[in-house]
Amino acid sequence: MSTRPGEQGRRDEAGPVKTRLNALLVAGLVVLLAGLVAYRSGYFNQIAITTMIFVILAASLNLITGTAGLLSLGHGAFFGVGAYAAALLSTKLGWPFWLTLPAAGAIAALVGAVVAVPTMRLTSIYFAVATLGIGEMIYVTLLNWVGVTRGPMGIRSIPGMEIFGLQGMVFNMAVTATLMLVALWLVHRLTHSYYGNSLRALREDDACADAMGIDVGRLKLQSFGMACCLAGVAGGLFAHTTGYISPESFRFGESILILSMIVVGGLGSIYGSIIGAVLLSVLPELLRDLGSYRMIAVGVVLFLSILFLPRGLVGEVSAIDLIRRQVKRDPNARRSAW
Amino acid sequence: MTATPPPLLSLRQITRRFGGLTAVDSVSAEIDRGELVGLIGPNGAGKTTLFNLISGVTPPSSGEVAFEGRTLTGLRPFEVARLGVARTFQNLRIFPNMTVFDNVSVGAIRDCGLSDALFERSSARGRDISDVSTEMLAKVGLADLADELAANLSYGKRKMLEIARALAGRPKLLILDEPAAGLNDTETIALAQFIENLRAEGLTVLLVEHDMGLVMRVCSRVIVLAFGRKIADADPATVRQDPAVLDAYLGTGDA
């Protein structure tokens, strides 16, 4: 038997081959970023940073949706909470970057946990609809709470990242890349562990997981809070690297874009999150000549992927299967067993 | 003389009503450590409801369930499971998109905190879960299939996987819900042997069965339910000749 203690016998376990592959990927990332820096194109650098931010968003959404089976349609809103938290703390209160970023994560996690408490008891598709509503509520708040968020005008002149006098595009890139790797490591540990197995059990059959001694409610809340925290950190990075944010960046469409990334890349897979995020961040940029029609490409890729690659590129469950089970399971019970 | 310890499981006048229907009607029973007890009854007798009352899925309308002298009233299913009551499901509920090994590990995880996830390689809990899962897989004869997806197993093997998952929690009481349903004769005989071995190792087992055959063969005591009431509670030979039981199973002549 190939199952070794601490490795869970997972098909994609972190054996020596995977470790070498990961080292190679990190080296490739460093070379690519160094190349972009040498090329001195602000445009390419910004795309690289945005892509890395989307990798964090996709990986965090994949933790709750792909692994724990909680279909969230409001992840973009928690990204927005983090972005606004960082922007407001730095422009209004003058907090330094090294404080605003963790604060963005903490505030997003807090908002996530507060809205999660009532919705966590909803199972399956009802939960998805609730997150859709929460996302819209957050968007409407950002849009209409003009006194604080400046509404549709957005927040300008957000200070860039700065720690000990270090700043600039290269620094932005290094910080974003580092935090992305930390986020990926975190999600990897949370999923490639017995903790991850208990999250998978929620996805597969939460009432059964309950009967097996898993505290379903606590796990849902915990994983949702952590995913929101990572989305908030991504929001903070976004605010400090672009210097300008407005509610439009955190609408429903953004949540769907992140969801499309993990469906195309593969639900429940970290490599899937990375591939999906890179593909759907870079593709619209390549098609910039098409104007706003370029977003159709995202839809086409999603459609083709569901049609021909039901599990995405490297996923562990098929998206259709996940949705179908969510709709079908417990037609009478709208609430989970706990 | 020390006081005798309370029985492992006791049902005290337990009743469950659903609207106007009384599914379980003031049933009292006790199960002692090391017993292999069968729970039988015709369709609609209340077996599944009684099962759900014990495992915490449904709260009783009145009466109480006590485990090791401690009431289970108000506890959620996961808390009942953590006290040492493990169960399997009548209609298989394995986790299809997880490997066989991962399926079994879920039964052992219990309360796996975040620190265990982040530093699992060095955590004793991680090793313990791994060890017990490996041991239980070997016990049910699925060790070779540890890395296979559970969805790819045959029906009989899935049944054994469910039992391994229940055993991975190192339960004090194992409740099997119709384990023989859907198994062929050879598989049923193997299952009977397996259950007898579990008892020989000291595990207390409650076997809920629709079919009398397996129960009569392996159980030391049989509880019979009909229309929500307990109509018999004795050794298999006595139960087999009880007129009330024959009545319930065969009808009173006008059925």
Residue-wise pLDDT tens digits, A69-83:
999 999 999 999 999
The predicted model gives B145-165 an average pLDDT of 92
> Cα(B153)–Cα(B168) distance, rounded to whole angstroms?
19
pLDDT value of position B107: 92
Contacts with B112 (C-beta within 8 Å, 6 or more apart), sequence order:
A193, A194, A195, A198, B125, B129
Q: Which of A4, A200, A212 sits opposite B102 (nearest CB)?
A: A200
What is the pLDDT, as a whole number, of residue A10? 46
Spell out the domain ranges in chain A: 12-329
Question: A328: which chain B residues are within 8 Å (Cβ-Cβ)?
Answer: none
**Does residue B48 surpass a pLDDT of 60?**
yes
Smallest CA–CA distance from B101 into chain A, residue: A9
Residue to test with chain B: of A197, A206, A221, A226, most B Cβ within 10 A: A197
Q: What pLDDT does residue A33 have?
A: 83
CA-nearest of A118, A124, A222, A112 to B112 is: A222
At A224, the pLDDT band (50, 70, 90 cuts) reads: very high
What value does the CA radius of gyration of chain B take, rounded to a whole number of Å? 19
Instruction: Reply yes or no on whether the pLDDT at A286 is more than 90.
Output: no
Which residues on B lie below 8 Å from A337 (Cβ)? Answer: 57, 76-77
Q: Do B89 and A9 touch (CB under 8 A)?
A: no
Among B81, B117, B134, beta carbon nearest to A212: B81
- The model's pTM is 0.88
List the single residue in A with minimal CA-CA distance to B127.
A5
Q: Is the pLDDT of residue A304 over 90?
A: no
The pLDDT value recorded for residue A12 is: 44
ipTM above 0.95, yes or no: no
Q: Which residue has the higher pLDDT, A304 or A80?
A: A80
- List, as ranges, residues 77-106 from B with C-beta within 8 Å of A: 77-78, 81-82, 86-87, 89, 93, 95-99, 101-102, 105-106
pLDDT of residue A332: 42
Identity of the residue in A4, A204, A212 whose CB atom sits nearest the CB atom of B98: A204
Mean pLDDT value of segment A126-144: 92
Q: Where are the alpha helices (DSSP H) in chain A?
A: 16-39, 42-61, 75-91, 97-119, 124-144, 146-149, 169-191, 194-211, 216-242, 252-265, 270-286, 295-308, 319-328
What pLDDT is attached to residue B183?
87
Question: Among residues A60, A96, A97, A57, which one has the least CA distance to residue A80?
Answer: A57
Contacts of B101 in chain A (CB under 8 A): 3, 8-9
pLDDT tens digits for range A74-130: 999 999 999 999 999 999 998 999 999 999 999 999 999 998 888 877 767 888 899
Write down the number of H helices and E strands in chain B: 10, 10
Chain B nearest C-alpha distance from A167 (Å): 32
Test B95 with A215 for CB contact under 8 angstroms.
no
Mean pLDDT of B205-218: 86
Interchain pair A194, B116: CB under 8 A: yes
pLDDT digits (tens, 9 = 90+) for B116-144: 777 766 678 888 888 999 999 999 999 99
Strands B204-209, B21-31: pairing kind: unpaired
CB-CB under 8 Å, A2 with B105: no
Confidence of residue A29 (pLDDT cuts 50, 70, 90): confident
Binned at pLDDT 50, 70 and 90, residue B2 comes out as low
A210 to B93: CB separation less than 8 angstroms, yes or no: no
Cross-chain residue pair A9–B101, CB shorter than 8 Å = yes
Q: Which H or E run includes B247?
A: helix B243-250
Looking at CA atoms only, how far is residue B121 from chain A in angstroms? 5
The answer to whether the CB atoms of A201 and B98 lie below 8 A apart is yes
Is B87 close to A211, i.e. CB distance below 8 A? Answer: yes
Q: What is the pLDDT of residue A6?
A: 35
Round the average pLDDT of chain A to a whole number and report it. 85
Name which of B89, B94, B98, B132 to mutate to probe chain A: the one with the most chain A Cβ atoms within 10 A of its Cβ. Answer: B98
Confidence of residue A338 (pLDDT cuts 50, 70, 90): very low
List CB contacts of A242: < 8 A, sequence separation 6 or more: A46, A158
Please give the share of chain A, as a percent, with pLDDT higher than 90. Answer: 49
The predicted pLDDT at position A229 comes to 97
What is the model's pLDDT at position B44?
A: 81
Mean pLDDT of chain B: 88
Q: Which of residues 110-139 of B touch A (CB under 8 A)?
A: 110-114, 116-118, 120-121, 125-127, 129-131, 133-134, 137
Instruction: Calculate ∠ Cα A20-A24-A25, nearest 5°.
Output: 120
Residue A283 has pLDDT above 50, yes or no: yes
In this structure, what DSSP letter does residue B4 have?
P
- Residue pair A67/A273 in contact by the 8 Å Cβ criterion: no
| Nearest by Cα to B39 from B245, B186, B252, B188 | B245
pLDDT for the residue numbered A82: 97
Residue A213 confidence (pLDDT): 93
CATH of A12-329, one of 1.10.3470, 3.30.70, 2.60.40, 3.30.450: 1.10.3470
Q: Is A194 within 8 Å of B126 when comparing Cβ atoms?
A: yes
In this prediction, residue A233 carries a pLDDT of: 97
Q: What is the pLDDT of residues A174-192, one digit of tens each?
A: 999 999 999 999 999 899 8
CA nearest to A190, candidates A219, A216, A231, A217 = A219
User: Rounded to whole angstroms, how far apart are CA atoms A231 and A82?
Assistant: 7
